């Protein structure tokens, strides 16, 4: 069964994958701050409503987040997303944009240090999905 579209805006799209995880696909260009926040907020709604703990994050088209978005993610979104029984594992398809890749790696490192979560980076989707499905 193919993943079903849950949410989409100019920044990205969220799909519910029947294998038990959320797919977050960033679209070319990062969109404005409100669009990026909306993607993350809807991802949290989908994770909590399904009880899924895993997300496949395709960052191939991602451009760097603004410092304000990074701060919001670290101080607001991650604490809410990683509460009891919530988001735990993220498989990331690395960004093509080297600046986005470096910024994301730094932010994920900070999030890992503060919350109980595990991220793994991949170049190919099949490897990312295999790893994600092995987590529980």
pTM: 0.91
Structure tokens at 109: 């490192």
Per-residue model confidence as pLDDT tens digits over 70-103: 899 999 999 999 887 789 999 999 988 887 877 7
d(CA 42, CA 71): 18
d(CA 98, CA 136): 31
Alpha helix (H) residue ranges in the chain:
33-50, 67-72, 78-81, 98-114, 125-133
Write the CATH number of the domain with boundaries 4-133.
Answer: 3.30.750.24
Per-residue model confidence as pLDDT tens digits over 103-121: 777 777 777 777 778 889 9
Between CA 35 and CA 87, with CA 47 as vertex, the angle to 5 degrees is: 100
Q: pLDDT: is 11 or 110 the higher one?
A: 11
Residue 46 in contact with residue 7, Cβ under 8 Å?
yes
């Amino acid at each position: 069964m193919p993943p079903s579209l849950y949410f989409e805006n100019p920044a990205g799209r969220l799909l519910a994958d029947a294998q038990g995880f959320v797919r977050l696909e960033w679209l070319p260009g990062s969109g404005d701050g409100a669009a990026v926040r909306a993607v993350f907020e809807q991802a949290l709604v989908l994770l909590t409503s399904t009880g899924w703990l895993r997300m496949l994050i395709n960052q191939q088209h991602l451009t760097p987040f603004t410092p304000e978005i990074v701060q919001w993610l670290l101080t607001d979104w991650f604490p809410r997303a990683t509460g009891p029984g919530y988001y735990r594992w993220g498989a990331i398809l690395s960004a093509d944009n080297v600046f986005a890749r470096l910024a994301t790696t730094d932010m994920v490192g900070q999030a890992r240090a503060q919350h109980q979560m595990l991220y793994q980076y991949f170049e190919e989707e099949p490897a990312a999905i295999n790893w994600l499905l092995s987590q529980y």
